[in-house]
Amino acid sequence: MRLANSRVRTKVTAVIVSLTALWVFAAWVTVRDGVNLLWVQQLDKNVAQPIDVLLPELQVERRLSAIYLAQRSAGNQKALNDQRVKTDQAITALARLSASGSVDWAASDTLKHRLSGSIQSLNELTTTRESVNFGVVDLTKPDDKYSVIIASLFQVYDSLATLDDDEFARNTRALIALNRAREILSKEDSLLAGSLARRKFADLEYLRFSQTVGAFRHDYAEAANELEYTDPAAFRSLEASKGLTDLEKLEDTAINRGFPSKRVLVSPQDWDRASSQALADLNTTVNDAGDRLVDRAMPIAIGVGVRLALAGGLGLFAVIASIILSITTARHLVRQLERLKRAAHELSDERLPSIVERLGRGEKVDVETEAPKLEFGVDDIGQVGQAFNTVQETAIRVAVEQAELRRSIRDILLSLARRSQALVHRQLTLLDAMERREIDTEELQDLFRVDHLATRMRRNAENLIILSGSTAARGWRRPVPMVDVVRSAVAEVEDYTRVAVLPIDEVALTGRAVGDLAHLLAELIENAVSFSPPYTVAQISGHMVASGYAIEIEDRGLGMSDESLDQINQRIADPPEFNLSSSAQLGLYVVGRLAERYQVQVTLKRSPYGGTTAVVVIPRELIEEGEADAPARSAQPLISVGTATVHDYAELSQGPVPEPTPVVTPVTEPVTEATTPSGLPLRVPQASLAAPLREEQAEPVQTEEDPGRSPEEIRKIVGAFQSGSLRGRSDATASEKSESETE
C-alpha cells in the first residue's frame, strides 16, 4: 500500500495490533501464573521458612525471660543465655536469606517494607535483652518488645505472595490464622510461667492472663472452624490433641482459683507439660498442613504449563491467520477509498473554503456547478460515494443560504440604525435650539431630560451599526481633551448623576477615535451604575501609563466571580462572530468590537471595595499631550455632569460646540433654598454664575451686526457652570450630613 493510504493502513494495523495484544495478554496471564509460582517458591524458601524457624525461638526466649524476671537464679540465667544463642542464629539466617537477589525480584513493595521493618526490630533486640538483665522491663504487657517483633513477622506472612488460586489462598490464610493462635498461646504460657516462678500473680498479671486466654480461645476456634473445610486432616489432629485438652483445664483452674487471692494454684510441672504439648501439637499441625499445601500446588503448576502451551500456540496461529486475512481483504477496500478520499479533501481544502470566501465578498454561487456528481460504482463504497455527493451539495447550499441570511440581517440592521441615527440627530438639533430659547427653569429641566433620552437613543442606534459591521460615522476633526471625552461618555448614561469624574491628565484624544471611544466608555459606565446599588457612585479617573493612557471606571457593586471575570475578559479581548443568540451581553460585544478596532485594551478586575473596576488602556498613537484645539476644560476632583450640560458633552463627537443664541435673562438674587427629592438644590438660572458673567448676560440683545460671544466668553460660562455644579453638590452633601446628625 502506498503512503497516500496510510490512514487506512493504520486502521488495519490497529486491528492486527489489537489481536496481537489480546494474544500477548492471554499468554501473559498464563505466564504470570508460572512466574508467580516461581516467586512463591523463592519467598517460601528465603522468607517463610526462616521465619518458621525464628518464631518458636523468639517465643521460647520470651518465656525464659519472663521466668528469669520472676526468679533471678543462675540456672534460669544460663537457660536464657543458651536460648539467646539459638535465637541469634535464626535471626542471622533470616537476614542472610532475605537479602538475596531472588527475594528482591519476587517481593512486592509492601513485603519489602515490612521485611525491612522486621529486620530492624530484630536488630534492636539487644536493648530489650539488657533491660531483662537489669530487671527493668515488664514482659507481661501486650506491647512488650518480643510481642512487637513477632507481630511484625506475622505482617510479613500476610504480605507473602500466593498462587492465583482461591482455594489455595484460603488454605494459606487458615494456616496463618492457626499460627497466630499459637503465638497467643505462647504469650499466655510466658505470662503464667513468670507467675508460677513467684507463686502468685503480680499487679495486673491475673487480668492480662485472663484476657490472653480469652483471645487464644477465640482465635483458635476461628482457625479450627476454617480448617474443618480447608484441611479436615489438620482439624482432626487438633481435635485429638491431649495437650490442648489438658491445657484448657489448667487455664480454667488458674483463672477460677486465682481470684481474688491472686495465687497461682496450678502445679508448675503440670503447666509445663500441658503447655509444651499443646504448643508442639499446634506446631506439628501447622507443619503437616503446610506440606499438604505444597502438594496441592503441584497440579496448579502443571495446569499453568498446559494453559501456557495452549494459549501461546493456538493464539499465535490465530494472530498469523488474522494478519494474512486483513492484508488480502484490505487492498481492494483501499483502492476504492482512495478516490473518495481525494474528492473529500478537494471539497474540504479547496472548493468549500473558496465558496465561503466568495460568498463573503458578495459573489453569486451556483450550487449545481460547485457540487459535481462523483461516480464510485454500485457496491458498498459506491453507496458511500452517493451519500458523499448528497453531503457536499447540502453543505454548499447551506453555506450559500446562511451567507445570504447574514447579509440580509446585516443590511436590515444597518438600514434601521442609519434611519434612527438620522432622526435622533435631527431631534438633538431641535432640542438644542429649544434649550437655548427656553428661560423657564422647569421647562428647561424637562427639555434636558428629553435631550438625555435622545442621546441614549443615539447610542443604541450606534450599537446596531456596530453589530452590522459598519462605523457610526461620528468623528472629530481635531484632538479633543480627554476630560471632555469622558464627560461625553458620562452624558450618554441614564444615571449620570451617580458618576464622579476624578482628576484626569491634560491630554487629548485623536479626533477620529473620539466618537467610538466615548461610546466604549459609555457602555462600561452604564454597566458600572446599572449593577451597583442606587445609593453608590461610580468613579472615573485617568492617567498616563507606559503603554498609553489608562482610564479606570470603578463601581461599588457586589462584584463578580473570578470565573465570570475571566469569561468576560476573554470575550472582550477576542470578540466572537455576532449571532442572534449573543443578545445577553450585547454591550460587552460592542465594547469588544470597538476595542479591537482601535487596539484598545479593556480589562475587568476586582475592586478593593468589593465591586468591579474596568481598566481601559488607550494606545499612545491615539494620545496627544499638550493643548488641544477644542476648548479646554480643566479637570476638577469629584465633578459630576450636571443636567444642563448633558447635550453639550454628548455632542462633542459631532464637532465644535455650536455657538448659543444670546438671550437676555434677568439676574435673580439670592439663590433659592429649594431642593430636589434627592437633596440636590434646584437649578435657578444664572444663580451660580460669577458676577462678571451675570453682567455680560444682562447686556441688551445683540443686533445682527454683533458677532456673538467669543470662545473665551463661552469658556468662562462653561467653567462658571462647572464651579456652580460642584458647589451645589457640596452644599447638598453638607445638608444631608447635617440632617443625619440632627436625626
Q: What is the mean pLDDT of the chain?
A: 77
Is the pLDDT confidence value at 428 over 80? no
| pLDDT (0 to 100) of residue 653 | 39
| pLDDT (0 to 100) of residue 474 | 61
Mean pLDDT of 364-369: 74
Q: Which residue has the higher pLDDT, 688 or 544?
A: 544
Count CB atoms within 10 A of the CB of residue 518.
28
| pLDDT (0 to 100) of residue 549 | 94
Rounded Cα gap, residues 452 and 79, in angstroms: 111
Q: Is 667:686 a contact under the CB 8 Å cutoff? A: yes
Q: Which residue has the higher pLDDT, 605 or 27?
A: 605
| pLDDT (0 to 100) of residue 705 | 45
Rounded Cα gap, residues 239 and 241, in angstroms: 6
Q: Where does 438-481 have alpha helices with state H?
A: 441-467
| pLDDT (0 to 100) of residue 469 | 64
Rounded Cα gap, residues 149 and 171, in angstroms: 25
Count CB atoms within 10 A of the CB of residue 17.
12
Rounded Cα gap, residues 515 and 519, in angstroms: 6
Is the pLDDT confidence value at 551 over 90? yes
DSSP letter string, 227-292: HHHH-HHHHHHHHT-HHHHHHHHHHHHHHHHSTTT-B--S-HHHHHHHHHHHHHHHHHHHHHHHHH
Q: Between the CA of residue 119 and those of 97, 136, 185, 199, what are the distances in Å?
A: 12, 24, 24, 36
φ and ψ at residue 289, rounded to 5 degrees: -65, -35
Across the beta sheet with 480-481, what order do the strands follow?
Answer: 480-481, 507-509, 623-625
Rounded Cα gap, residues 621 and 542, in angstroms: 17
Count CB atoms within 10 A of the CB of residue 602.
23
- In this prediction, residue 736 has a pLDDT band, given cuts at 50, 70 and 90, of low
Rounded Cα gap, residues 609 and 92, in angstroms: 73
| pLDDT (0 to 100) of residue 25 | 76
Q: At what angle do helices 205-230 and 166-198 cross, to 10 degrees?
A: 150
Per-residue model confidence as pLDDT tens digits over 504-534: 888 999 988 888 898 899 889 988 888 888 8
Of 138-152, 185-199, 361-375, 692-706, which gets the smallest average pLDDT? 692-706
- In this prediction, residue 2 has a pLDDT band, given cuts at 50, 70 and 90, of very low
The answer for residues whose C-beta is within 8 angstroms of residue 159's C-beta and 6 or more apart is 108, 110, 111, 114, 115
Note the pTM of the prediction, 2 decimals. 0.43
Rounded Cα gap, residues 62 and 269, in angstroms: 19
CATH T-level topology, domain 474-658:
Heat Shock Protein 90 (3.30.565)
Is the pLDDT confidence value at 312 over 50? yes
Mean pLDDT of 293-309: 73
Per-residue model confidence as pLDDT tens digits over 595-627: 888 899 999 998 888 889 999 999 999 998 765
C-alpha cell at 17: 495490533
198 burial (CB, 10 Å; 0-12 / 13-18 / 19+) is middle
C-alpha cell at 209: 492472663
- In this prediction, residue 104 has a pLDDT band, given cuts at 50, 70 and 90, of confident
| pLDDT (0 to 100) of residue 85 | 95
Three-state DSSP class for residue 14: helix
Rounded Cα gap, residues 67 and 264, in angstroms: 14
Q: Which residue has the higher pLDDT, 283 or 644?
A: 283
The segment with the largest mean pLDDT, out of 389-393, 442-446, 468-472, 537-541, is 537-541
Rounded Cα gap, residues 665 and 440, in angstroms: 10
DSSP letter string, 178-205: HHHHHHHHHHHHHHHHHHHHHTB--TTH
Is the pLDDT confidence value at 714 over 80? no
Q: Is 721:634 a contact under the CB 8 Å cutoff? A: no
Per-residue model confidence as pLDDT tens digits over 374-391: 676 676 777 777 787 788
Q: Which residue has the cell 453507496?
A: 383
Q: Pseudo-torsion of CA 491, 494, 500, 505, nearest 10°?
A: -30
C-alpha cell at 442: 422647569
Is the pLDDT confidence value at 54 over 90? yes
- In this prediction, residue 582 has a pLDDT band, given cuts at 50, 70 and 90, of low
Mean pLDDT of 638-651: 38
Q: Which residue has the higher pLDDT, 699 or 353?
A: 353
Is the pLDDT confidence value at 9 over 70? no
Rounded Cα gap, residues 693 and 717, in angstroms: 7
Three-state DSSP class for residue 478: coil
Q: Is 698:686 a contact under the CB 8 Å cutoff? A: no
- For the chain, the domains span 43-305, 364-470, 474-658, 663-743
C-alpha cell at 265: 494454684
The segment with the largest mean pLDDT, out of 50-59, 381-390, 583-592, is 50-59
Long-range interactions of 89-93: CB distance < 8 A, separation 24+: 90/50, 90/53, 90/54, 90/57, 90/58, 91/54, 91/122, 91/125, 93/50, 93/53, 93/54
Rounded Cα gap, residues 248 and 251, in angstroms: 5
Is the pLDDT confidence value at 594 over 60? yes
Percentage of residues in the chain having pLDDT higher than 70? 76
Query: SS3 for 303-349, per residue?
Result: HHHHHHHHHHHHHHHHHHHHHHHHHHHHHHHHHHHHHHHHHHHHHHH
Is the pLDDT confidence value at 475 over 60? yes
- Residues forming a β-bridge with 508: 481, 624
Residues constituting the chain: 743
